[in-house]
Amino acid sequence: MDERLFREIGMTDGETKVYFALLRLGETKTGPLAKEAGISLSKVYKVLDKLMQKGLAGSVIKGKVRHYAAMEPRRILDYLEARQSQLREKAALVQQMLPQLELQREASVGKTSAMVYEGYKAVTNVVRSIIDELGEGEEYCVIGAGYGDVPGLRDFFAGHHRRRVKKGIRLRMIANFDTRGNIEPMTAVSSQLRFLPQYLITNMTIYFYQEKVFIVLWTRSPVGLLIHDAEAVKSFRAYFNAFWRIAKK
């Protein structure tokens, strides 16, 4: 049985080892349990306390000696539901704090700034923020859009454009030649699309809107440069308009 899943749902390595040891041993004392789990006796008491708090273990005293046992495996679902409920509460609190956090960030950023983002998660989070920051009827532009060889990128943009359309955000996009006839369907909704000639295909994509430009190199480990500057947007808009004239519908 793959124990990694239990670590992924929020249990520590020690909790996972002790829980599975309890399942194998049944009702047991701490000495055999520590040996079966492969952890020290001093640590096993702390881990058992945490498992009992999570509702995943219980205890009973027999002959003045405390014995421990795993609760029914179905209790794991109860633990997950409680964890999800806590995360929803924390998400609501963070949502309330966002306006203040954004004001503090804007004050520290100043009028002009540039920041590098590395890795798939960091770069796609910046692209995702475009939809968060724009309102209904607003527009952003893209130069050199494509899927490249980045695993999961097509699925990411399928979801991205569903969010964009739902929020009523418009798009003007100059995509790479190799996406013609193979572009995610939602991309074309509320959009104006054109395609660059084949000789201009690149892994670099440029997004710009409001006072921000995001330049991304879509490699196996993507890298992006976010520029916050109105003059930069103005320059890239001129660049976009020049390519728009030579791009094909």
Give tens-digit pLDDT for 54-99: 888 988 888 888 899 988 888 888 888 888 888 888 888 888 877 7
Res. 1 pLDDT band, cuts 50 70 90: low
Q: What is the CA radius of gyration of the chain?
A: 26
The continuous run of DSSP H or E covering 35 comes out as helix 30-37
Res. 101 pLDDT band, cuts 50 70 90: confident
H-helix segments, 110-198: 120-133, 153-167
Once rounded to an integer, what is the mean pLDDT over residues 206-234?
A: 92
Cα angle 94-99-103, degrees, rounded to a multiple of 5:
125
Rounded to an integer, what distance in angstroms lies between the CA atom of residue 92 and that of residue 84? 12
**CATH code 1.10.10.10 for 4-71:** yes
Alpha carbons within 13 angstroms on the beta-carbon side of residue 115 total 10
Q: Which SS3 state, helix, strand or coil, does residue 72 take?
A: coil
Considering the four listed CATH numbers 3.30.870.10, 3.40.630.30, 3.40.50.10790, 3.30.360.10, the one that applies to the domain covering 112-246 is 3.30.870.10
Residue 41 CB contacts under 8 Å (≥ 6 apart), including other chains: 30, 31, 34
Residue 21 CB contacts under 8 Å (≥ 6 apart), including other chains: 33, 36, 37
Domain boundaries, the chain: 4-71, 112-246
- Average pLDDT of every residue of the chain: 87
Torsion angle of the four alpha carbons 30, 31, 33, 34, in this order, in degrees rounded to the nearest 10 = 100
On whether the CB atoms of residues 186 and 158 are closer than 8 A, the answer is yes
On whether the CB atoms of residues 134 and 167 are closer than 8 A, the answer is yes
Give tens-digit pLDDT for 104-152: 666 665 555 788 999 999 999 999 999 999 999 999 999 988 887 888 8
